[in-house]
Amino acid sequence: MPELPEVEVVRRGLEQWVAGRTVAEVQVRHPRAVRRHLEGTEHFVQALTGRTLTAAHRRGKYLWLPLAEPDGTPSGRALVGHLGMSGQLLVEKPSAPDETHLRARFTFTDRGRELRFVDQRTFGGLAVEDLGGDDAVPTRLAHIAIDPLDESFDVDAFSAALRRRRTEVKRALLDQTLIGGVGNIYADEALWRARLHGARPTDRLTRSQVADLLDGVRDVLGEALAQGGTSFDSLYVDVNGQSGYFSRFLAVYGQADRPCPRCGTPIRRESFMNRSSYSCPVCQPRPRASSARSRRS
Ligand SMILES: [Zn+2]
């Protein structure tokens, strides 16, 4: 499943390859891909045809491209996309053969490369939505917390909010209302860097632990971004079909029984919310059972 750095890689690809181009034709190959466009497929096609995609933005794992009318004025709407579990936005030459799971195709008036939405499992989707107010964020996305890769991320507000929560620190990292876009992989990697077990109660973290944790989140996201995303899921590729290479650099995630890169102790796997958590038993000792129990009450 694409996590935040992968989606940011896709955003940068869209900014480079798609922004400023005018849609000539939209083909929806599978209605499920536009199910979030409530007015239906034909309306989706009409809302985009002849419009210019002016930029590419991201909030959490959502992407949006604001639309301009044929006369160049902003339309107050945007093409909004979510990649779901397996979605890809690919920029392809028109001569490239159709992908097996091609769901939608956008051609442009310059007759250059097409934008294709490919999604095997079709949990992702596209819609045209209204942009709200002055900040020009789609209304439906306004509640999603800004993430640490966003220039406007507020470190002090995040630190204060984290320490006010009465929860376990890994749950807090995955809480999209607190911090955007941190999934299971990057949460585990950031916790390892900060030497914190994911079950540590947030309201007992010191200021310096919170600062280390946030540094860990930013470093791991920044490094993943520099590598083009994690992409050990073979379904994920960026807009040009290139896989990322960050998975080679994971310290703990998916590394059960391999040596901790810091101390050599075998990495442990624990179950967590129907998934797995990976950590080093020595660098990241579990909180004492008594304090963990009192937090749960
Ligand atoms: Zn260790």
Closest CA to 216 of 193, 238, 197: 193
What pLDDT is recorded for position 202? Answer: 95
Residues 102 and 221 grouped into a single domain: no
Compute the distance from residue 285 Cα to the ligand 1 centre, in Å.
10
Residues 164 and 118 grouped into a single domain: no
Q: What global pTM score does this model have?
A: 0.76
Task: Give the CATH number, domain containing residue 124.
Answer: 3.20.190.10
Specify whether 61 is catalytic.
yes
Examine residue 147 and state whether it is found in any structural domain, yes or no. no
What pLDDT is recorded for position 236? Answer: 47
Mean pLDDT of 222-234: 63
Residues 161 and 197 grouped into a single domain: yes
pLDDT of 297 higher than 80: no
> Do residues 278 and 257 lie in contact, with contact meaning Cβ atoms separated by under 8 Å?
no
Mean pLDDT of 110-114: 95
Mean pLDDT over all residues of the chain? Answer: 87
The residue among 155 and 1 whose pLDDT is bigger is 155
Mark which of 118, 141, 164 sits at the end of a domain.
141
**DSSP-H helix ranges across 129-240:** 155-164, 169-174, 184-193, 207-226
Mark which of 83, 109, 141 sits at the end of a domain.
141
Residues with Cβ within 5 Å of ion ligand 1?
260, 262-263, 265, 280, 282-283
pLDDT digits (tens, 9 = 90+) for 203-213: 999 989 999 99
> Do residues 25 and 109 lie in contact, with contact meaning Cβ atoms separated by under 8 Å?
no
Mark which of 141, 172, 190 sits at the end of a domain.
141
pLDDT digits (tens, 9 = 90+) for 35-72: 999 999 999 999 999 999 999 999 888 999 999 999 99
Range of the domain at 60: 4-141
pLDDT of 117 higher than 70: yes
Catalytic residue among 3, 92, 114, 189: 3
Compute the distance from residue 179 Cα to the ligand 1 centre, in Å.
26
